[in-house]
Amino acid sequence: MKLADKVAIITGGGRGIGQAAAMEFVREGAAVIISDIAEHDEVNDTLSQIEVLGGKGMFVQTDVGDEPQVISLVNHTVETYGKVDILINCAGASDPAMLTNMTLDKWFKVINSHLTGSFLCTREVARHMKGQNHGTIIFVSSIAGSEGTIGQCNYGAAKGGMLGLMKSCAKELARYDINVNAVCPGVVKTTMTETIRGDEKFREATLNRILMGKFGTVETIAPMFRYLASDEGHYIHGQVINIDGGMFGL
């Protein structure tokens, strides 16, 4: 097992890409702490799947944009397992609107969940990892952070900000043997992309931009997290890794 005895915090780990990452890590021997803003059915389903596999997992309800809750999440993890080896910043909300209709409430809802949440979680986890002199931090950004997106300037700004945050953290934390990277999924079959995939016009226009001609799945993203968190991938540092079927950058 490539992640035996590792302890991983996965924000947004109850559904979608975060859930797939949690299951990937459990299969490789890691204990996972699933953080989500609410204890919904998918969280309980994830915990049930972990139990079936004989793995270790627990849920800590957390609003990642709330500083005291993030501090509590990380402290509870360290108190329970004695350490934290891996952080995946995957939590985030979507609240689309065209630029001229974008309200501050919509703006800050998305910025706080993706960008501020990633900052707070990374800061608190890094404080423990520096003492361990080892660790892995992965930001789940998006191709929208590099190329922007129509109707979601809040989302594009948040995901782009995560890339800048990742690179700054990578420069600060390398000396402590903490590898820091960002994974940028393309259009993946999750609830967040249902609007695009469910509208025939949007669906065809989007598929025409993907060289491989198909949408990604959470199972196509999660193995990269495992690799980056393993000893094999530890020398990869400060990189933005697109997993998008050839949608961006070619």
Active site residues: 155
Cα 153 from chain centroid? 19
**8 SS3 class:** strand
Q: Is the dihedral of CA 184, 185, 191, 194 positive or negative?
A: positive
Q: Which residues pair with 139 in a beta bridge?
A: 89, 182
**182 SS3 class:** strand
Q: Is the dihedral of CA 165, 166, 168, 173 positive or negative?
A: positive
| Strand ranges for the chain from DSSP E | 7-11, 31-36, 57-61, 86-89, 135-140, 178-185, 240-243
